[in-house]
Chain A
């Protein structure tokens, strides 16, 4: 059977022309192939293709080679050390410099397992990762938002609902009575943060919207949005002066 294959395949392979050398003058046959016949079109050739010979039909050599590869990986991953999560995050493969480190590396080299075991270990998100929204607070704990309606206006997904109300103390005109973001509709574009004139809404919480069982649970109310800061260890106050004057708020991050 194998010999029949040899001849049959040799004929079939005649249509194959050199490894993608499409530009003029490259009509030479691919290296290692013996040309048996050339047709009127110089690019159409019959070549002899080398197929595994009878010696390989027992698959012994291939099996031995394959087992060598898998065994190497198996031993390395079984006896080697896992890389630190921080290194997995950055893709670093620290080379030991101390003598102790070199001995440890020789005894138990770092293995190739890339898995990060969520939720005990987490991928560190980039600094500018856009996560769950949070509402910033003034020094007295009131919401910074002045209900200017910039964010619901710019929001392409129409996921922000603000109902303004009159502020009692008169130092600011308005404040949101209701501030809701439907996280199921949010497309995480970050335009609301860009649009906000008083640093009241941010997406730097570094976390995702939590999975919910009811659609209604995905709507973040004002209280929930304020609580995001505390839950994720972020300061709820901004160094920006209310109204836009003062230091750039980005400097204070």
Chain B
């Protein structure tokens, strides 16, 4: 059993489980959901016919059909392309996104030995080494102190995917798309990083797991929705969401693709190589949803669900340097049920934010290049800087007044 727990707690296992259990299925489903949702928004029915025998499922199986089609299509490589870079670009587009998932906490730490018991948070804080808390499985692949910086750094690499694809394709339109892609990504990365600065100041950590576990204030339980950052950092949420959508290179920020003008940096790609670009885009949607969920919407926290059950009232107290909620009315739940609820809540929140991204993508028309740059440099950036300053001053003031 202990070996099993060790295997489950291994980063590689968790990565495989996360990517093939949550990210890939969700991204594939999004390829269907996008078409079906856009149809619903435009008074159409959308793809609803793919079926295996009598199983139709409202057309969900379209993503299987698409995958089979893309795998079996001819992989055409035009003459004069730089073959090495041409082959590398799709991997550069999809690889960094998958790696960046390492920092996302998609569930609580699971203690297998007390899976069926109610978790005693006080006992955990007092003696973390006890047998019932041994062999813990943390549902986060890498607990890095520089967590979200890792995300910014890794996702910058995805930038190269589009740019190199455009360069290697030996095609003017592809090159234009690649240049547009790199200029846009660079512009928006700045505001994206800065917009989260206020959150880091407020929580005091870059580690997503810590942001989820602590919330804004140690005086409230982390599961209290008022303790999540969406309320205290609403402008940051808006700024980050805008910049993040721009990073996914989707409408209204899709000038790197701009189908009617230049088709985009992947104009020369076909078959599964093109499919990788396509999938990378959808994985980015899932990833950005995961980041927004984690930073702004309490990650895997279910409202009012503390580790030992639903709690109403009660207060937070410090035991051995850990903030623990006690007292109040508690509807006790086994640790296993709590963990399942929390993983489910994370999934649900990610799906909801992804849905919102699709709504925005099908609502707004494409920006012009100058509008894009104006928005990025003249509006988002000053606002992000200003908000960071404001948050810093506000926090100083709160500390001075003794409210924090």
Which A residues are closer than 8 A to B by beta carbons?
Answer: 1-2, 57-60, 62-63, 66-67, 69-71, 73-74, 77-78, 111-115, 117
Q: Considering the chains assembled together, what is the distance between the CA atoms of A112 and B39 in angstroms?
A: 11
Which B residues are closer than 8 A to A by beta carbons?
Answer: 37, 40-45, 238, 359-360, 362-364, 370, 374-375, 379
Q: Which of B41, B375, B379 contacts A73 (CB 8 A)?
A: B41
Residue of B with least CB distance to A77: B40
Residue among B37, B45, B238 with max Cβ neighbours from chain A (10 Å): B45
Q: Which of B37, B362, B364, B370 contacts A1 (CB 8 A)?
A: B370
The A interface is mostly helix, strand or loop, or mixed, namely: helix
Q: Residues of B contacting A58 with CB < 8 Å? A: 375, 379
Residue of A with least CB distance to B370: A1
Q: Residues of B contacting A62 with CB < 8 Å? A: 364
Q: Are B45 and A115 in contact (CB under 8 A)?
A: yes
Knowing A1-B370, A58-B379 are in contact, say whether A73-B42 is a contact too (CB < 8 A): yes
Q: Residues of B contacting A71 with CB < 8 Å? A: 359
Q: Considering the chains assembled together, what is the distance between the CA atoms of A71 and B42 in angstroms?
A: 10
Knowing A1-B374, A57-B379 are in contact, say whether A66-B364 is a contact too (CB < 8 A): yes
Q: Which of B43, B364, B370, B375 contacts A77 (CB 8 A)?
A: B43
Residue of B with least CB distance to A5: B370
Residue of B with least CB distance to A2: B374
Q: Are A74 and B360 in contact (CB under 8 A)?
A: no
Q: Considering the chains assembled together, what is the distance between the CA atoms of A114 and B42 in angstroms?
A: 11
> Can you report 25 A-B residue pairs in the complex whose CB atoms are below 8 A from each other?
A1-B370, A1-B374, A2-B374, A57-B374, A57-B379, A59-B375, A62-B364, A63-B360, A63-B363, A66-B364, A67-B359, A70-B41, A70-B362, A70-B363, A73-B40, A73-B41, A74-B40, A74-B359, A77-B43, A111-B43, A113-B43, A113-B45, A114-B43, A115-B44, A115-B45
Nearest-neighbour CB distance to chain A for B139, whole angstroms, equals 32
Q: Are B364 and A74 in contact (CB under 8 A)?
A: no
Nearest-neighbour CB distance to chain A for B191, whole angstroms, equals 13
Q: Considering the chains assembled together, what is the distance between the CA atoms of A114 and B362 in angstroms?
A: 20
Q: Residues of B contacting A117 with CB < 8 Å? A: 45
Nearest-neighbour CB distance to chain B for A17, whole angstroms, equals 28
Q: Residues of A contacting B37 with CB < 8 Å? A: 74
Knowing A1-B374, A73-B41 are in contact, say whether A67-B363 is a contact too (CB < 8 A): yes
Extra inter-chain contacts (17) besides given A70-B359, A74-B359, CB under 8 Å: A1-B374, A2-B374, A57-B374, A57-B379, A58-B375, A58-B379, A60-B238, A63-B360, A67-B359, A67-B360, A69-B363, A70-B41, A73-B41, A73-B43, A77-B41, A113-B43, A117-B45
